[in-house]
Copies of this chain bind each other. A is one copy, B any other.
Amino acid sequence: MTVIKGSDVAKALNAQTAEEIASWNGIVPKAAIIRVGDNPDDISYERGAVKRLESVGIACQLVTLPGDITQQAFLEAFSKVNDDPSVHGILLLRPLPPQLDETPVRNQINPDKDIDGISPINLAKVFSCDDSGFAPCTAKAVMEILDYAGVNLHGKNVAVVGASLVVGRPLSMLMLAREATVTLCHIYTKDVPKECREADIVVVACGVPKLIGEHHISEGTVVIDVGINLDENGKLCGDVDFDAVAPKASLITPVPGGVGAVTTSILASHVVKAARRLTGKENR
């Protein structure tokens, strides 16, 4: 059994990203991170993202808006960033406070700057197995890990547990594009353990601490854990019971230190993809 460390995957990807930026002779890609309010999770994610982006040579513009901002003021602030030609990529930290509706922003964001894949144009591209757009970073991080580990998806049976629009559904399409057969499981799935046992690869993104145990996994399965939860002792844990599952898995990602460690590196690679296009370095 091999534990795939997210930091190794991130390191390899960051090196590629930094190398590409270095070859641009002074053009600096820029990301805007929009945060509304002072949610500690948002602040922590923002801090990690800035650190990662800057480390590879991406400039960050932090747009911090008051937590009680009105919808109109929010949309105006968003438009300003969206229309700013010096900004190549936009990350909007979500969920937004309850008084705000994110639908207009999803429809308005320039799809070419939409580095976290929230625009319907990018969702439709993911659904169309068209990789010219941006998939949500977490779904993409799972693919990056599998590629790093040399897992060939062609013809493989995959169980994806959790059918969210940010992970499970886009991931199932990214995997379909690689010719995997995906069963998308969720809370109403009759027999999740059976679906997992019959899969070559199990990806879990359902937000239930340690849901996936020893009886879910067949010998030699590849297990990717997207969950980030607190266990009964207040310790970080995934959706997979790592200690129970690891001995049977051929490859497994830990939590913390797995998928989560790769997400901001994907974000950085998306900023570069966006900047490459917006600065005319690539014809679509």
Contact among B173, B183, B185 for A169, CB-based, below 8 A: B173
Contact B128 A165 (CB under 8 A): yes
Tell me, yes or no, whether A205 is within 8 Å of chain B by CB.
Answer: no
Interface string of A174-217 (1 = CB under 8 A from B): 00100111111110111000010000000000000000000000
Q: In whole Å, how far is A187's beta carbon from the nearest beta carbon of chain B?
A: 8
* Segment at the B interface, from A76-84, A118-126, A219-227: A118-126
Q: A137 to chain B: closest CB distance in Å? A: 17
Determine if A157 is an interface residue (Cβ-Cβ < 8 Å): yes
The residue that A127 contacts in the complex, of B126, B176, B190, with Cβ under 8 A, is B126
| 14 new A-B contacts at CB < 8 Å, known A155-B190, A163-B176, A176-B186 | A120-B123, A124-B124, A124-B127, A126-B127, A129-B165, A154-B188, A155-B189, A181-B183, A181-B184, A181-B185, A181-B186, A181-B190, A182-B183, A184-B184
24 of the cross-chain contacts (CB-CB < 8 Å) are A120-B121, A123-B123, A123-B124, A123-B127, A123-B128, A124-B127, A127-B173, A128-B165, A129-B165, A155-B190, A156-B190, A157-B190, A169-B173, A169-B176, A172-B184, A176-B186, A179-B188, A180-B188, A181-B183, A181-B184, A181-B186, A182-B183, A183-B183, A184-B184
